[in-house]
Amino acid sequence: MPTPKIQNCQPFAPMGPMGPMLNTDSRREIFINDEISQHTCYIIDEIHRINHEDKEGKKIYGKKYKIRPIKIYINSYGGNANAALAIVDAINNSKTPVYTIATGVCMSAAVLILVNGVKRFATKHTTFMIHGISGMTGGTIPEIKEVSRNYENIEKIVSAMLVDKTKLKESKLTKIFQKERANWIFYYDDAVKYGLITDDIENVNKLPKKNKKAKNKKSESKK
């Protein structure tokens, strides 16, 4: 199974009534409303563009320039794990904070994007789902073994990420991943309980607060 070359694809522009439409605007909102695939790389391009915009803004306006977070709204049943991990890397490398908001459904690979937000939100009736890596392959026995090894490696990455970013235990994830066709479907309260959601949706439009503790430590060190 070839790895999607996400960095080489052109920005994906969904069609609107007036023609191609990039699902972003001046409010820095990005919408994932479909399957996560190599076409979703437009999100990576947009994160890079906003980071460049903020870098230039700081140069011109200095401290007067206020950085506004990027908000990724997720309504997706999931998709390609490699494509999701590429978006995750872009989020984690972003100097501009990225908020993730689940609404409707947030399943499979979409959960990986959700849990990597600096702040994570969800609407009350969102349905979540986590399961093990799945896929289909063919070819020679060595080729099938190589693809299987790749799947196992991705599953390890996914498991470690969920343990690191949430309150989920490795033992619980192992049980989910080892069951054939096991889909763990859960809802808002469990998403909060297990740390997939970190903030109330009412706070989604609040700008990030400056770290007062860090300032106090600096002032104490000067004394």
Catalytic member of 108, 159, 219, 221: 108
pTM above 0.85, yes or no: no
Scanning the structure block, which residue is given the tokens 């969102």? Answer: 126
When comparing pLDDT for 214 and 58, which is higher? 58
Residue 68: pLDDT above 60?
A: yes
Domains of the chain: 6-208 (3.90.226.10)
Burial pattern 163-172, b for ≥16 Cβ within 10 A else e, equals: eebbebeeee
Per-residue model confidence (pLDDT) at position 134: 67
Per-residue model confidence (pLDDT) at position 146: 73
Annotation says 131 is catalytic: yes
Annotation says 125 is catalytic: no
Q: pLDDT tens digits for 164-217?
A: 999 999 988 888 877 755 789 999 999 999 999 999 898 888 766 665 444 444
Q: Which of 32, 51, 5 is nearest to 113 (CA)?
A: 32
Catalytic member of 39, 76, 131, 159: 131
- Rounded to the nearest 10°, the torsion over CA 182, 124, 106, 157 is -70
Find the largest Cα–Cα distance for the chain: 70
Residue 11: pLDDT above 80?
A: no
